[in-house]
Structure 1
């Protein structure tokens, strides 16, 4: 059992290290090619997929894996750059929508190409033919386990 635990810990550390290095490379490439951070790109990605290019700020924060206050700061800067605007939610006057602007859409398209090429270069090309299915299955199990098992650990 102790050997298995050591193997799991080592694998976890390697996974985190690989993730960090790949994200760092993707960030560098996006900044260099498009002048966008990955956080900005991710906001534009989610808004470009949303109906009408608009999404409630709290929903966007959840999708972008950011805190509400962190997303607010990102959207503040993106709004100043002309990439997004904010509007009052018509169905809930207390809610605020982030809305992609035409300039945001214009900047998103080439950024998406940079991002897809980077993911393929730093991740996809290293997968064998059968590995995407196996990796998807593992990641799905891990994600599902986090939804199901919300019990506190003492």
Structure 2
């Protein structure tokens, strides 16, 4: 591999960024129009819900979502204020805390999913064949998995 990216690599980078911004913006707009909170709320609640005990430490949330720590803290504050998550002291570390999803948080996930699913259908699935989607997922895994 050369020391500098080729024109094709630069074009791929630019289109990846543009597609990401456009699709994410469209999905966010649909959620907002339906009266839902931002997609980041859904993502945090989904990660908590996926856990058997429904709770994670803030640093685990940060790692799974790749959001800066200060943004995770503010996001958790907003979710807690809305009643979708609760904070508890970490039993293993008296200074630490765990964040757990509440029944209200689980209900929000279920309520948001049909709108989110439709937005994915409209802005991704309707524009890619099944084979294209598989190929794109495979290509993107090269960037994610390193």
TM-score past 0.5 threshold: yes
Checking the alignment, whether the CA contact within 8 Å between 1:34 and 1:111 is kept in structure 2 is: no
Matches within 5 A, 1:136-147: 136-145=137-146
Checking the alignment, whether the CA contact within 8 Å between 1:82 and 1:101 is kept in structure 2 is: yes
Structure 1 residue 43: Cα displacement = 0.9
Structure 1 segments of 4+ aligned residues over 4 angstroms from their partners: none
Unpaired stretches in structure 2, ≥5 consecutive residues: none
Residue 50 of structure 1 corresponds to 51
Residue 6 of structure 1 corresponds to 7
Q: Distance in 2 between matches of 1:112 and 1:129?
A: 21
CA RMSD of aligned residues (A): 1.7
Q: Distance in 1 between matches of 2:90 and 2:135?
A: 41
Deviates more, 1:53-62 or 1:86-95: 86-95
- 1:43-98 per-residue CA deviation (whole Å, 9 max, x = no partner) reads 11111111221111100111122111111111111111111110112233232111
- The TM-score with structure 1 as length reference comes to 0.84
Checking the alignment, whether the CA contact within 8 Å between 2:36 and 2:112 is kept in structure 1 is: no
- The TM-score with structure 2 as length reference comes to 0.88
Residue 67 of structure 1 corresponds to 68
What secondary structure is seen at the aligned counterpart in 2 of 1:44?
Answer: helix
Structure 1 residue 32: Cα displacement = 2.0
- 1:113-151 per-residue CA deviation (whole Å, 9 max, x = no partner) reads 211221121012211232223222212222222xxxxxx
Residues 1:33 and 2:34 aligned together: yes
